[in-house]
Amino acid sequence: MRKRPKKVLVVGAGAREHALVWHLAQSPEVEEVWACPGNPGMAEMARIVGDGGPSAVVDLARREEALVVIGPENPLAEGLADALRAAGVLTVGPGRAGAKLEASKRFAKAVMQELGIPTAASTAVTSPEDWERAIAETPHWPMVAKQSGLAQGKGVRIVWDPDQARALLAEWRRTPEALGEGILWEEYLPGREVSVQVLTNGREYTWLPAAVDHKRLTSDPASPNTGGMGAYAPVPWLDEAMKAAIDAEILQPLIQYIAQRQIDYRGVLYAGLMITDTGPRVLEFNVRFGDPEAEVVLPLIAEDLFPWLVAIAAGEACPSAIRIRPGAAVAVVVASEGYPASPQVGRPVAIRERVPDALLFHAGTSLGPKGLISRGGRVLTAVGLGQDFASARERAYRQVAAIGLEGAQVRSDIASGL
């Protein structure tokens, strides 16, 4: 019989991983939490280990007999979960074959078309000639252009006319990796966006609270896409009938596909959906916790998630339901000046106050000679908790106001007008 782990190693350095560390550190079954490469916020509750690459992660996890939870998409796409499982390490995260659902939007689109999963009509573009042809054949605007490969949430643009489309191609051609996997040219879907995340062993699945991510830099629909500027959970306007449609039309067919093809998928499946007048439509699949969705979902889970993650990693049955706390969570991201195109880093970060009933997760921070400094685009995520959205939102923004960062960018409309 496999020995039950008492330690956890969380792979990643962002606010999502900080939220995972925060949740798992509270488990009575966990003796120690490690983070690789971690960040200064995680260091308050976990042991930070250097990023020595995949082999170092495998060696540490095997030596410490730890459960590994992989946060970001890149190590999943590169096969870290496969390497860990080959070494006998219990791991939360799909193998390379399952991670392809996120690593290649063209592959995910082909799977959806094969299974009849509702999604936007699209065509693959692999050359400037294809792009010009797509523009010429587009009868209605706007349209959506998506980089097929991994782009950290920033490879999606709404284009409103042919001139914008040509300008976007010229921009993306300056960064060859943007075109490496090709581009999907998709119809624009109006509606309300929602993030649905489930725990799955590759055969069954269990819902986590749904959330709403605010992807644009500002409330202007023409502003740049980002990795996410804030989120809220739960989603009061997502009713049971719509959840049943999501189950029947999207989640069940995809999980059945994964099981039938014996794809090793043990972890989180994320469906980014648009709720349209004709039902749910898939915008994208991710193969891990969303960010900033994890920061509002994990605080709402009313029980210790560690045993469920161990069971998922072992391929055991999923829980029939996970208990959720009453109330609401609202996350607001503090981003660097210049984000997402060219974030300014190395600036001092001051946390002047810790607000009661608010959490603060580090994303792009590091320690400089004189204290905390910014090291990335999204720097901190403030999460307000409350019995309702009004109180949660007030606490989140009060925590944001207690953060000092020159040139900080913050959306003021997260969870407003629900």
Let me know: does 412 contact 352? Beta carbons within 8 Å.
no
Fold of the domain built from segment(s) 191-313: D-amino Acid Aminotransferase; Chain A, domain 1 (3.30.470)
pLDDT (tens digit, 9 = 90+) per residue, 132-184?
Answer: 888 889 988 999 988 888 876 668 888 999 898 888 888 877 776 666 678 89
Q: What was the pLDDT predicted at 154?
A: 67
Q: What was the pLDDT predicted at 153?
A: 65
β-pairing verdict for 66-70 and 403-404: unpaired
CA distances from 9 to 67, 69, 84, 271 (A): 6, 6, 12, 25
Q: What was the pLDDT predicted at 270?
A: 98
Tally the C-alpha atoms within 13 A of residue 237's C-alpha that lie toward its C-beta.
14
Instruction: Give dist(CA 270, CA 115) in Å, integer.
Output: 17
Instruction: Give dist(CA 371, CA 40) in Å, integer.
Output: 10
Instruction: Give dist(CA 144, CA 301) in Å, integer.
Output: 34
pTM of the prediction?
A: 0.95
pLDDT (tens digit, 9 = 90+) per residue, 344-394?
Answer: 999 999 999 999 999 999 999 999 999 999 999 999 999 999 999 999 999
Let me know: does 402 contact 351? Beta carbons within 8 Å.
yes
β-pairing verdict for 371-374 and 378-386: unpaired
Q: What was the pLDDT predicted at 178?
A: 64
- On the question of a common fold for 7-95 and 191-313, the answer reads no
Fold of the domain built from segment(s) 328-404: Glycinamide Ribonucleotide Synthetase; Chain A, domain 4 (3.90.600)
The number of helix segments (H) and strand segments (E) in the chain equals 14, 22
CA distances from 196 to 34, 188, 212, 243, 272 (A): 28, 20, 9, 9, 6
Cis peptide before 176 (omega within 30 of 0): no
Which residue from 245, 239, 244 is spatially nearest to 279, judged by alpha carbons? 245
DSSP 3-state of 125 = strand
Structure tokens at 162: 């042919």
CA distances from 41 to 105, 242, 298 (A): 33, 37, 17
Cis peptide before 234 (omega within 30 of 0): yes
Let me know: does 383 contact 330? Beta carbons within 8 Å.
yes
β-pairing verdict for 267-276 and 192-200: antiparallel
The ranges of the chain with pLDDT < 50 are 1
Domain ranges of the chain: 7-95, 121-187, 191-313, 328-404
Fold of the domain built from segment(s) 121-187: Dna Ligase; domain 1 (3.30.1490)
Q: What was the pLDDT predicted at 3?
A: 76
7-95 maps to CATH 3.40.50.720? no
Instruction: Give dist(CA 405, CA 410) in Å, integer.
Output: 11
Residues 6+ apart with CB under 8 A from 186: 120, 121, 122, 143, 144, 145, 146
Let me know: does 296 contact 231? Beta carbons within 8 Å.
yes
Q: What was the pLDDT predicted at 41?
A: 97
DSSP lists the bridge partners of residue 139 as: none
